[in-house]
């Protein structure tokens, strides 16, 4: 298989301890990237790295909370020094706080934005400063289809994802002259721990597929949840030379749940 410009590059993946982040890290590693796996879950990210190394891939764990600016800056410098120049950044780290907007706690709002929006800003800023002089790089932010279509009880999450998506597009416009591409991948319902936390019983997956008229939520036309690998495949495409003329794009991967919006 062609590496499509991924082999030999350092790929920094946040939220790498589980779910989509872990799938992205593995997919990039299999194509020859050196993985800088970032997650505040030290045990989880170390376990992922151990698995990758055992399978013959290059990966190092960096336990850090992306909402902490100083720690982010220090970690990016450490990665650049220890592993080499970061050529690919994938922002996956995210949290979900559910609640009706009029009763949502201040802490739920601020904590959601601290990770989902501030975290994307902090680590993208730290990485792109190194990419600009090298005139090369690809940044992919994993957003959500909830950033484009309103969802009940998800005001904080949806707003934070919309903000990080627009930040990524604005960044892409600013750094296009340096041959750095910035894109967004927006999953819908995906088989992850975050998705399962929304389920009230064992029929949660089917309920997500069917949709909910009472919540004004369309179901999934393709009649299945996404697998983390589905999202990882899209990230790999946008990180590779196959997408060399694509930037500031938002690729929706939701089985048609947002009806092409």
| Residues β-bridged to residue 62 | 38
- The tokens describing 1, both together, are 């298989």
Instruction: Tell me how far CA of residue 141 lies from CA of 21, 101, 175, in angstroms.
Output: 11, 25, 15
CA 33 to chain centre: 17
CB atoms within 10 A of CB 202: 7
The catalytic residue among 57, 122, 153, 157 is 157
Q: Quick check: helix, strand or coil at residue 174?
A: helix
> Do 22 and 228 contact (CB within 8 A), yes or no?
yes
**Residue whose C-alpha is closest to residue 44's, from 214, 159, 193:** 193
157 part of the active site: yes
Pick from 231, 128, 118: which is nearest to 185 by CA?
A: 231
- Residues known to be catalytic: 157
């Amino acid at each position: 298989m062609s590496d499509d410009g991924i082999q030999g590059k350092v790929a920094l993946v946040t939220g790498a301890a589980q779910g989509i982040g872990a799938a992205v890290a593995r997919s990039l590693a299999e194509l020859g990237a050196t993985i800088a796996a970032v997650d505040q879950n030290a045990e989880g990210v170390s376990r992922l790295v151990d698995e990758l190394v055992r399978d013959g891939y290059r990966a190092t764990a960096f336990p850090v909370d992306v909402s902490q600016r100083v720690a982010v800056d220090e970690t990016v410098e450490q990665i650049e020094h220890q592993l080499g120049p970061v050529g690919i950044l994938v922002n996956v780290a995210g949290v979900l706080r559910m609640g009706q907007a009029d009763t949502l706690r201040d802490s739920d709002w601020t904590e959601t934005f601290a990770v989902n929006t501030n975290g994307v800003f902090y680590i993208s800023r730290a990485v792109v400063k190194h990419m600009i002089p090298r005139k090369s790089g690809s940044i992919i932010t994993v957003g959500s289809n909830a950033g484009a279509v309103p969802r009940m009880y998800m005001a904080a999450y949806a707003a934070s994802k919309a903000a990080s998506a627009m930040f990524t597009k604005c960044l892409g416009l600013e750094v296009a002259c340096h041959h750095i591409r910035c894109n967004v991948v927006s999953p819908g319902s995906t088989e992850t721990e975050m998705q399962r936390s929304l389920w009230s019983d064992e029929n949660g997956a089917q309920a997500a597929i069917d949709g909910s008229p009472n919540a004004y939520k369309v179901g999934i036309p393709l009649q299945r949840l996404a697998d983390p690998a589905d999202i990882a495949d899209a990230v790999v495409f946008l990180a590779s030379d196959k997408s060399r003329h694509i930037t500031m794009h938002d690729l929706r991967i939701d089985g048609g749940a947002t009806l092409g919006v």
